[in-house]
Amino acid sequence: MLKELIGKRRDKEELVALTGVDERTVREEIARCAMHYPVVTNSSQRGYMIIDTPRLVESGTNEEINEAINELNKSLNDDRSRISALKRRMKAKIAALKVLEKQVENKEIS
């Protein structure tokens, strides 16, 4: 459904208007597309875009290919940053889990 619509950069509001479905459904569709196609986003630009790798390999100009490479690098850098932030947030949860599991273990032994 969305694959054809995000051949150029489009934001969620635009995709909601074009598809007639709610924002949650649009996000779910984007997530599904991203499992099979390179859907790029980055923090410096709104919206989503699929990089059409086969077309670029077949007939893309050097300028188009370089632009796609830049978009992919920006998107991957944003992904890495989110992963790092999630890992930092997980540390406190993991520490709390270990303390509580230890507490349960100690109560079972007593």
Give residue 18's domain range.
5-109
User: What pLDDT, on a 0 to 100 scale, did the predictor assign at position 79?
Assistant: 95
User: What pLDDT, on a 0 to 100 scale, did the predictor assign at position 1?
Assistant: 67
Q: Report the alpha-carbon distance of residue 80 to residue 87 in Å, rounded.
A: 11
User: What pLDDT, on a 0 to 100 scale, did the predictor assign at position 22?
Assistant: 95
Which residues of the chain are modeled with pLDDT < 70? 1, 110
User: What pLDDT, on a 0 to 100 scale, did the predictor assign at position 92?
Assistant: 95
DSSP, residue by residue, 32-60: HHHTTS-EEEETTEEEEEE--HHHHHHH-
**pTM for this model (two decimals):** 0.79
Q: 39: which strand partners?
A: 50
User: What pLDDT, on a 0 to 100 scale, did the predictor assign at position 62?
Assistant: 97
Domain count across the chain: 1
